[in-house]
Amino acid sequence: MELGGKDCAYIAKDADPKAAAEGALDGALYNAGQSCCAIERIYVQEEVYDDFLHHAEQIVKSYVLGDPLVETTNMGPLTDLNAPSTLSDRVTAACENGA
């Protein structure tokens, strides 16, 4: 599903929540989420929302941040000096809107 540059994923009620979380987070977070085609929104049907969220949380908590040249690193650095500030602003806005 593509919504004018706001790429999203849709998780239906008959989806396997664990597999859906793995796929959606891979699509959202590969290249530290810094890709023009990275998933930016994930819509999850109520029937699988709690399970999906549980698995997504476990995946994110397992990530190892660090030097991308180290094999055990899952997520490397942001692309430029302004990126941390932009990311912080987006997290703040998301939290203010119920995330």
Q: Which residues are catalytic?
A: 2, 36
Helices and strands in the chain: count of H runs, count of E runs: 3, 2
Closest CA to 33 of 58, 11, 2, 65: 65
CB of 32 closer than 8 Å to CB of 75: yes
99 contacts: CB under 8 Å, gap ≥ 6: 91
